[in-house]
Each structure stands twice: as structure tokens, then as C-alpha cells.
Copies of this chain bind each other. A is one copy, B any other.
């Protein structure tokens, strides 16, 4: 999906919402547990219910890999289902991969290649290993690298604020340097760091930001929008647990949809 298509989708749905499919098998409602593939059945119900309100879905791969081969089958089925809805949502593999060039190329093939088992529109990538670890993800047309810049967790303080000799913090250095490496680039910027969104916008005035950290982690949607919105929106605001695990009865999908609608309504004033 290219940028124009993504922006049109946002306008059409009047939504910036990305639903995180962190479908932890230990937290699924009992009603899906006796199906053949509980994680897939859960995801399908969540997707069907939230599709009017979500512009993007972001399976976090850890929750699939932790179920081993079975988990990867659930992910494959989930992506086949989402890819059938192709023009109705954008898909992000939350993978945080990154390795030497020939290896990053394999990760890109795994999750972005249209011939692969998954065929995501985008994937998250970690910047620690630098240029040749990031570039191989940026070779698929209309696919996106979502590079970690300023993350939403407490550990973000450990390294991401280290200042180089010109006074730039590591997250700013990542945002600035990486723009020389790839065109189809977005950045992860945690909602818990929303006061720094103005600094991020100085370094990346137009790039889309994927914003985790609202809800369970405590970030504010208003602060994110006030400091992060661009002329064509430029934000995908993620919520995972707050939506998908809002209820764990047989009514879970309806409650998830209500939560998604509520999150949408919080950004309604910007449309």
C-alpha cells in the first residue's frame, strides 16, 4: 500500500487507529479455546468487529513465535485473512528485526515479500546495526520499513537519549541518518514520550509515525495528536491489550469494537 492509499484509507474511515494483535494464547476468552486454532479464531473475530474503526492491524510476532510452529500457522492464517481485505487495512509485522545485510534480506523476504507466507505491508526494524541492516527491508515497492526511534518503554531511557558530539540524541540521530538510507520509511515513537513529538517532527516533518504506548502503557492520544499530526495525518496510533482483551466473555469481539470506536472518537475532531 502506498502513502496516498494509506492517507485515503485514514480519511475514509476517519481513523488513525492501529489494532495490535498481541494475541497471547494465555489470555484468550474460553469460547475460542476449543476451536482448532484459537489464536486465529480470536483474531478473525477481532478483525471482523473492529474493521470499520481500524486503518491498520499489527500482529506482534512474539505472541505467535511463542507458540512455536503452531503459532506461525496462526499468523499465516491471520495474514491470509487480512490480505483478503487488502484495500481495507494496512498491515504491520511488529518484528523489530535487524541483522547484517544478507540476513536482513532474508527477514524482509520472510515478512514483506508478496510471494511469502505473510506478505505484510510494513514491518518494524531495530536500528542498532545501522545502514546495511536497514536498507534490505526497503526494497519492496509500496512496502514500508518502520524503524524504532523513541520507544514507549522505561528502557528507552537507557540508550535512546545518549547525546552525540553535536548534541543530537540517539533517537534523533536514528531519524535523521536513516532518511538517507530508505524512501519508504516510518518511525516508531512512543505515546509515553509525546512531549518529545515536536523534536521528532523537527527531524521527520512528514514521515508517518507508528505510536504505541496509549492505553495500558499510559500515553495520551491528545498530546500525541497535538504534537504529531501532519497535513496528511502522519500518525498511526496503536492500541493492543486495551482493545483486544477489553472483555474475555463470549462477547469479546463486540466489546473490542466498542473500545475501537471509542478510540476513534477521541481523534474525531482532527478530521
Cβ contacts A119-140/B at 8 Å (1 or 0 each): 0000000111111111000000
Most B-side CB within 10 Å, residue of A69, A76, A117, A170? A69
Given the contacts A69-B117, A117-B68, A126 and B98 also touching, CB distance less than 8 Å: yes
A36 at the interface (CB under 8 A from B): no
- Within 8 Å by CB of A103, from B62, B67, B158, lies B62
- Within 8 Å by CB of A158, from B65, B131, B152, B162, lies B131
- Within 8 Å by CB of A22, from B72, B98, B103, B163, lies B103
- Report A94 CB to chain B, min CB distance, Å: 8
Cβ contacts A59-72/B at 8 Å (1 or 0 each): 01011011111011
- Report A244 CB to chain B, min CB distance, Å: 13
Flag if A170 contacts B160 (CB, 8 Å). no
- Stretch from A2-10, A42-50, A106-114, A251-259 at the B interface: A106-114
Q: Categorize the interface residue count of chain A.
A: 35 or more
- Report A128 CB to chain B, min CB distance, Å: 5
Considering the complex, give the chain B residue whose CB is closest to the CB of A124.
B99
- Within 8 Å by CB of A163, from B128, B164, B217, lies B164
A174 at the interface (CB under 8 A from B): yes
When distances are taken between beta carbons in the complex, the residues of chain B under 8 Å from A159 are 127-128, 130, 170, 173-174, 177
A24 at the interface (CB under 8 A from B): yes
Flag if B106 contacts A66 (CB, 8 Å). yes
Q: How far is the CA of A133 from the CA of B111 in the complex (A)?
A: 22
Q: How far is the CA of A30 from the CA of B118 in the complex (A)?
A: 27
Which 3 A-B pairs give the minimum distances between C-beta atoms? A130-B155, A68-B117, A130-B158
List 5 A–B pairs whose Cβ atoms lie within 8 Å, in order of A's numbering: A65-B110, A68-B118, A69-B73, A128-B159, A129-B156
Additional A-B contact list (10), CB under 8 Å, known A65-B107, A71-B110, A127-B159? A22-B103, A62-B106, A65-B111, A67-B110, A96-B129, A100-B212, A129-B148, A130-B160, A132-B154, A134-B155
